[in-house]
Amino acid sequence: MENGLVNATTEGAPQGGPLSPFLSNVVLDDLDRELGRRGHRFVRYADDCNIYVRSERAGHRVMESVSNFITGMLKLKVNQSKSRIGRPWECKFLGFRMVAGRKTKRSIAPVVLVRFKDRVRELTRRTRGVTIKQMIEQLNLYLIGWRGYFGFCETPSVLKQLDSWIRRRLRSVVWKQWKRGKKRFAKLRQLGVNKALAAKTAGSAHGPWRISRSPALSYTLPDAYFDTLGLAKLINRLNA
């Protein structure tokens, strides 16, 4: 996009394409060799690289010298806005971060979780005009792909929380789709909620997100209900 207008691409490789990491490996092979020659411990995938040193002072020194090598010898640009010095658990690599404790674990970076929730909100907008079943079918395409990459983190509690959040989000979507009190009351009664609780819930002044945790919706729309609709889970037996 140039000046707000979309133009056909005549050169370069598309972002996210399989050619990009291949070209990165070709171009940055000299960087790997240089870091190895210097005795640094490092990890690199495509153009994302972490170098591990013993102190913050060494970090500043190495960052400056490696940046000079990249710009001077390889004739490449260093993205200064994405380059930083920090402890391993303060930095992310390929969407993951390390969590310090009795045992160091691989967890999902906070910025990734924010993007995940934004995408789920987008896919579960009530104004999309689709049924809850259609919404889940479209949502599954994203969840299964995301799980294939981030599902093997070593902090399963994060995945459990996301699963719970997604189901609560869908309960609030269903509540919105029922629209008004009269219809909500009829739906709750149809699904087995007693008259008093149905009336109290349908007439509540609370918003959909608050209502999504109510006893009435927990009873009528349990996790098992979404299981019958085929909603994918982020947590699995390997990381439960």
Amino acid identity, residue 47? Answer: D
Q: What is the pLDDT along the chain (240 residues), one digit of tens a residue?
A: 777 888 887 777 777 778 888 888 899 999 999 999 999 999 999 888 999 999 999 999 999 999 999 999 999 998 888 888 988 788 888 999 988 888 888 999 999 999 999 999 999 987 777 889 999 999 999 999 999 999 989 989 999 999 999 999 999 999 999 988 999 999 999 999 999 999 999 999 999 999 999 999 999 999 999 999 999 999 875 555
Q: What are the distances in angstroms from CA 102 to CA 86, 99, 105, 158, 166? A: 20, 10, 9, 18, 31
Cβ neighbours, 10 Å, residue 105: 14
Q: What is the per-residue DSSP string for 92-122?
A: EETTEEEE-SSS-EEEE-HHHHHHHHHHHHH
Residue-level pLDDT at 127: 73
Residue-level pLDDT at 240: 52
Residue-level pLDDT at 7: 82
Residue-level pLDDT at 235: 85
Total-model pTM: 0.80
